[in-house]
C-alpha cells in the first residue's frame, strides 16, 4: 500500500553525536505530490531490501534467542540491527550475527568492537538521491536527507535538536513549535474517538445489530432494505510491532475512524445489517493465490513481528486478520448475489489490491476484491466488474484476472509514466490472451486530480464500457487515498465526488454492489468519504449532481489516450472518442492562441530586433 529518520543510535558516544547531527539534516518538509521516493537507510545502517515481484519472502526482525538489551518478550530494543541475508552481503555492512552478538557495555558498538561501526559511517557518507520511482508504497510517505561530505575525520558537535510530534490524523511529523499539522491542519491535541464503537465480539452480536442470519428478520424484505456491513474487531490486532521513527500509515485507527463517523451519522449500528465474520478457507484462497504465498502468510502467525517487504508488516495476529477480511468479503458477495442483502460495505483491513498471485506487497496480504469476485461467480454471477479508484494501481488484482474475460477490471490511479507506486497500470496494459480488453487503466499523469476528472472519466470511459459488459455483480476497490488531504495520494477527490461515483455504479448489475475498503491514510478524509459512500448504498442521493463537468487539460489528454487504446476492444467508444478528439483540438487551439497573444503583448522596442538585446528577448520570451 520508510520510517528511517531520527533514529537513536545505541552505539558509542561518537555515534550518538553522529545521529544527533543526522536529525538536523532529516527535517521533514511539507509533503506535496510524493511521486518521488526517498532512501530508506536507517541511521544505524540498516539496509532494507527492495521490493521484488517474485514469491513472497518473510524477513524476520525479531529474535528467538534472548540477549542482553532485549525486552521482556525477547525482542531487541534496537530494531535496526542487520538481520536479512541480503544485507549481510552488502558492502560496508557488518556481518555479525545477532544470535552471537552480545552487547558488553553501553559504550560498545553493537556491530564492532572498536566503537566505530562501518555501517554507521557508510550510511552517513551515502548521498540520498530523490528517486522518481521506488521500491515501496511507504517511501511516498517520508523524505530523508543526508550530508554527503566525507566525515571520516569529523568530530561531533553538540546541537540543539527540536522535538517532533506526529499528527494523529495523517501521522506526518511536525516540529514541536507548531500547534497544527503542516500537512492536514489537524491540531496536535485533537481526539478522534469520542466513544468506542468496537466492543468485544460477543457484544457485537444480535443485541445491537440486525444479523443477516437472525431468524426474526424476513429475508425477502431484507433484500429490499438492508445494506450489509462486514467487519470484525480482531482485524484491529493487525499493526506494526516494531517501533520505528515514524508511525505506519496503515494502522488500526483507520477502521476506528470510519466506524466512529458512521456511528455519529446514526448509520452504524442502526441502519445496517451485520454479517457474521468467518475466516476464509485455504481452498478458497487457493483459487486466488499460490500455495507458497498462502503458507508464507500463515507462517507469520508464529512470529512476534515479520515483514514481507520493507513496508508490508505482519505480527502474530496478521494472518488471521487477513483471513477474516477475505472471508467477510466473500460472504458479503454471496449475500448480495443471493438477495439476502441489497448491497454491502466491507470495513476490512489489511487491504488487498496489491497482493498478487505469489506476493504480498504495498500493505496487502490477501486480495480481498479478487476473493469476493470469485465468490460471486460461485454464487451465480457469470460476469463481475471491479472498479478500483484507489490512488495506486491495483497491480495484484490486474495480475490475477488479466487473462480472464469474465472479470472486467477498471482502475483509475496516479501513474505519471510509471514513476508513481507501484509503477504498473499504463494505458496500454489491456490484459493478455482471452482477457485482452478486459483490463482498462486510466492513468493520471500528475497529482492533484479532483472530482471533475474522475466524474468525466466515469461518464466517457467507465460507464460506457461497463454497460456494454453488463456485469451481474459490481465490486468497488474503494481506496480513499485519492481523497483531499491524503498524504500519500496528494489528490483532490471530495466525499461528494466519491458519493457521485458510487451512485453512478448503482445503475449497474441491478444495484448489486459491494464496496471493499482499500487504502486511505488521512483519518478525517477516509471517514467522511466512506460515510458518504455508505449513505448512497442506503439509498440517499448525492447532495450535488455533477452533470456538467469540465476536465483539466491533463485529465482530458489521459481520457483521450485511454479511449483511443480501448477503441480496439470496445467499439462503443467510437462516438466518445470522436467527441473527445474534437474537444481536445478545441482546447489545444485555444491554448495556442493564448500563448500567441501573450507573446504579442511582450513585444519590446523596435531596436531590440538587432544586436544582443534581441537575442536576450528571444531567449526569454520565445523559447
Catalytic residue set: 354
Q: Rounded to whole angstroms, how far apart are CA atoms 425 and 407?
A: 17
| Contact predicate 517/349, CB 8 Å | yes
| Contact predicate 611/618, CB 8 Å | no
Residue-by-residue DSSP string for 435-491 = GTTSEEEEEESSS--BHHHHHHHIIIIIHHHHHHH--SEEEEEE--TTBBT-TTT-B
Q: What is the DSSP letter of 236?
A: G
Q: Rounded to whole angstroms, how far apart are CA atoms 352 and 341?
A: 23
| Contact predicate 323/388, CB 8 Å | no
| DSSP SS3 for 389 | coil
Q: What is the DSSP letter of 78?
A: -
Buried b (16+ CB within 10 A) or exposed e, 378-413: ebebebbbbbbbbbbbbbbbbbbbbebebbbbbbbb
Give the other-Cβ count within 10 Å of 433's Cβ. Answer: 9
User: Which residue reads 466525499 in cell numbers?
Assistant: 495
Nearest to 294, CA basis, from 284, 303, 305, 309: 284
Cell matching residue 189 = 491535541
Q: Rounded to whole angstroms, how far apart are CA atoms 267 and 257?
A: 14
For the chain, the C-alpha Rg in angstroms (whole number) is: 26
Q: Rounded to whole angstroms, how far apart are CA atoms 403 and 438?
A: 8
Residue-by-residue DSSP string for 329-340 = HHHHHHHHHHTS
Q: Which residues pair with 387 in a beta bridge?
A: 410, 476
- Helix (H) or strand (E) run with residue 273 in it: strand 272-274
| Contact predicate 174/250, CB 8 Å | no
Residue-by-residue DSSP string for 126-156 = S----BSS-S-SGGGG-------S--TTPPP
Amino acid at each position: 500500500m520508510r520510517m528511517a529518520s531520527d533514529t537513536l543510535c545505541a552505539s558509542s558516544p561518537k555515534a550518538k553525536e553522529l545521529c544527533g547531527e543526522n536529525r538536523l539534516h532529516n527535517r521533514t518538509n511539507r509533503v506535496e505530490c510524493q511521486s518521488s521516493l526517498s532512501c530508506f537507510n536507517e541511521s544505524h545502517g540498516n539496509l532494507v531490501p527492495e521490493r521484488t515481484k517474485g514469491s513472497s519472502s518473510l524477513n524476520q526482525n525479531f529474535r528467538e534467542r534472548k540477549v542482553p538489551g532485549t525486552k521482556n518478550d525477547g525482542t531487541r530494543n534496537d530494531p535496526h540491527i542487520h538481520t536479512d541475508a541480503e544485507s549481510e552481503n552488502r558492502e560496508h555492512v557488518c556481518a555479525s550475527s545477532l544470535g552471537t552478538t552480545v552487547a558488553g557495555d553501553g559504550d560498545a558498538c553493537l556491530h564492532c568492537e572498536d566503537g566505530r561501526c562501518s555501517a554507521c559511517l557508510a550510511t552517513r557518507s551515502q548521498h540520498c538521491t530523490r528517486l522518481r520511482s521506488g521500491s515501496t508504497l511507504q517511501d511516498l510517505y517520508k523524505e530523508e536527507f543526508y550530508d554527503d561530505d566525507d566525515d571520516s575525520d569529523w568530530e561531533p558537535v553538540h546541537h540543539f535538536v527540536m522535538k517532533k510530534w506526529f499528527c494523529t490524523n495523517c501521522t506526518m511529523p511536525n516540529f514541536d513549535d507548531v500547534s497544527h499539522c503542516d500537512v492536514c491542519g489537524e491540531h496536535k491535541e485533537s481526539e478522534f474517538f469520542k466513544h468506542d464503537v468496537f466492543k468485544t465480539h460477543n457484544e457485537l452480536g444480535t443485541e445491537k445489530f440486525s444479523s443477516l442470519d437472525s431468524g426474526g428478520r424476513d429475508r425477502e424484505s431484507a433484500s429490499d432494505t438492508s445494506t450489509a456491513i462486514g467487519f470484525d474487531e480482531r482485524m484491529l490486532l493487525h499493526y506494526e510491532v516494531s517501533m520505528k521513527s515514524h508511525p505506519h500509515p496503515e494502522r488500526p485507527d483507520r477502521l476506528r475512524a470510519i466506524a466512529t463517523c458512521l456511528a455519529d451519522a446514526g448509520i452504524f449500528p442502526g441502519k445496517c445489517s451485520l454479517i457474521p465474520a468467518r475466516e476464509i478457507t485455504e481452498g478458497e484462497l487457493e483459487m486466488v493465490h499460490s500455495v507458497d504465498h498462502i503458507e508464507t502468510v500463515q507462517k507469520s502467525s508464529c512470529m512476534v513481528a515479520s515483514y514481507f517487504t520493507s513496508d508490508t508488516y505482519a505480527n502474530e495476529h496478521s494472518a488471521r486478520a487477513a483471513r477474516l477480511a477475505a472471508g467477510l468479503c466473500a460472504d458479503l458477495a454471496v449475500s448480495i448475489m443471493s438477495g439476502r442483502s441489497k448491497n454491502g460495505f466491507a470495513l476490512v483491513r489489511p487491504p488487498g489490491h496489491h497482493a498478487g498471485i505469489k506476493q504480498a506487497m504495498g500493505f496487502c496480504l490477501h486480495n480481498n476484491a479478487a476473493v469476493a469476485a470469485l465468490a460471486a461467480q460461485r454464487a451465480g454471477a457469470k460476469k463481475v466488474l471491479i472498479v478500483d479508484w484507489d490512488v495506486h494501481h491495483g497491480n495484484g488484482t490486474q495480475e490475477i484476472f488479466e487473462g480472464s474475460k469474465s472479470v472486467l477490471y477498471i482502475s483509475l490511479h496516479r501513474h505519471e509514466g510509471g514513476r508513481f507506486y507501484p509503477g504498473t497500470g499504463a494505458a496500454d496494459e489491456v490484459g493478455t490472451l482471452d482477457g485482452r480488453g478486459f483490463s482498462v487503466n486510466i492513468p493520471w499523469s500528475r497529482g492533484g486530480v479532483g472530482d471533475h476528472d474522475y466524474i468525466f472519466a466515469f461518464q466517457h470511459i467507465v460507464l460506457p464500457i461497463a454497460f456494454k459488459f453488463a456485469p451481474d455483480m459490481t465490486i468497488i476497490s474503494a481506496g480513499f487515498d485519492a481523497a483531499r488531504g491524503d498524504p500519500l495520494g496528494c489528490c483532490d477527490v471530495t466525499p461528494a465526488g466519491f458519493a457521485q461515483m458510487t451512485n453512478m455504479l448503482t445503475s449497474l448489475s441491478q444495484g448489486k454492489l459491494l464496496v471493499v475498503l482499500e487504502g486511505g491514510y488521512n483519518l478525517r478524509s477516509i471517514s467522511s468519504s466512506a460515510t458518504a459512500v455508505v449513505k448512497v448504498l442506503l439509498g440517499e442521493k448525492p447532495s450535488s449532481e455533477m452533470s456538467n463537468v469540465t476536465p483539466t487539460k491533463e485529465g482530458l489528454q489521459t481520457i483521450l489516450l485511454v479511449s483511443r487504446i480501448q477503441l480496439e476492444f470496445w467499439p462503443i467508444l467510437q462516438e466518445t472518442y470522436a467527441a473527445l478528439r474534437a474537444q481536445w483540438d478545441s482546447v489545444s487551439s485555444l491554448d495556442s492562441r493564448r500563448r500567441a497573444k501573450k507573446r504579442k503583448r511582450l513585444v519590446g522596442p523596435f531596436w531590440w530586433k538587432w544586436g544582443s538585446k534581441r537575442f536576450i528577448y528571444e531567449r526569454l520570451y520565445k523559447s
